[in-house]
Structures are given as structure tokens and as C-alpha cells.
Structure 1
Amino acid sequence: MTATEIEFYWRPGCPFCAMLVEPLRRSGLPVREINIWDDPGAAARVREVAGGNETVPTVIVGDAALVNPSFPEIEAAVREHAPELLGGRAD
């Protein structure tokens, strides 16, 4: 499976989401921000990969799901699971 973007699942008021969104936006990586309160399918996707919980932030990179990751963990997942997203970045 080839990834075209990082899926960043979040919800309003989540301090962990707020801390993660800025480094993601600055990274230059393709990121789709998905509010689980606005999208029942997104909430179901998070529950699917987070042991039945709606834990955010949840980030999906290719075939890897990361629950409450740090930005360095996301970068490592991109290098391992979706290097095509680097698009020439020298990481």
C-alpha cells in the first residue's frame, strides 16, 4: 500500500493534539487533519486501531497506526512505512 498522506485524527480541546499539530504542519509532510467529533467514520477508525477507545491524537502512516505519538515517532514511522511521503526531504 502506498501512502499519499498522513492521517491525523484529533478532537477539539485535546491538549495532546494541540501540541502535535504545529510540528506536523511545519514538517512539510502531507497531512490530512480529521476531527473525530465531525466524522463518525473517523471515530470508528480510531476505535479500530486504539483498542476500542477514541484516543487522540491517533496518527496513521501507511499501514502503521500510532496512538498518542510524539512527532519523532511519526517521523520514524514515515521513514519506515511511507518513505514516499518524504518527497525529497533530506531526513
Structure 2
Amino acid sequence: MAEITLYSQPGCEPCKAVARKLDQLGAPYRKVDVTQDDAALAHVRGLGYNTTPVTVVGEHHKHGYAPDWLKWAAEHASNP
């Protein structure tokens, strides 16, 4: 089991939707603002994404708002 990390940025409505869904699911997650963290931005780009949101659980990652995947992530994540 791994921690959920949500890579986001200010003003990103899909990012807010992902955060709301994770909150609804009661899933613990760490939110990282890629505009404030160069290493996080490099990590997101290294995964092959140029925009947010990107949600990561261990070696698994998904771009955008995907409710079914977020449910899977919540079920497979560990508490921080």
C-alpha cells in the first residue's frame, strides 16, 4: 500500500474535483502544487504529463478526473 499524492496547481478546476472526490471517499492524500515545487513538476513531466491533475499511488498514476480510478486509489492507499 502507498500514499496518494495529488499533483495540482492553483485555479485548476479538475484538480479541485479530484480533491473533492478523495475527500468524499475519506482517502488520505498529500497535495503538491507543481507551481511551487520544481521537483514535483519534473516528476509529473517524467511520468509523461504536461498538465494537472495527476494522482499517484505507488507506481500507478492517472491524469485528470477519473472517479472509478480514484475509488481504486482510495481502496489501495495507506494512511500517511
Task: Give the 3 Å change call, closer, same or farther, for CA 44–37 of structure 1 in structure 2.
Answer: same
In structure 1, what is the Cα distance between the partners aligned to 2:55 and 2:16?
13
Give the structure 2 partner of residue 89 of structure 1. Answer: none
Residue 85 (1) aligns with residue 78 (2): yes
The equivalent residue for 1:18 is 16
1:61–1:78: 8 Å Cα contact kept in structure 2? no
Structure 2: state its 5+ residue gaps.
none
Q: TM-score, normalised by structure 1?
A: 0.74
CA distance in 2, matches of 1:41, 1:75: 27
State the secondary structure of the residue aligned to 1:69: coil
Within the candidate set 59, 71, 74, 1:75 is matched to 71
Max radius of gyration: which structure? 1
Once the two structures are TM-superposed, the CA of residue 84 in structure 1 deviates from its matched residue by 5.4
Runs of 4+ in 1 over 4 A off after TM superposition: none
Q: RCO greater where, 1 or 2, for CA within 8 Å and sep 6 or more? A: 2
Secondary structure, aligned partner of 1:72: helix
Structure 1 spans left out of the alignment, 5+ residues: 87-91
What is the count of residue pairs matched by the alignment?
79
User: Percent same amino acid at aligned positions?
Assistant: 29
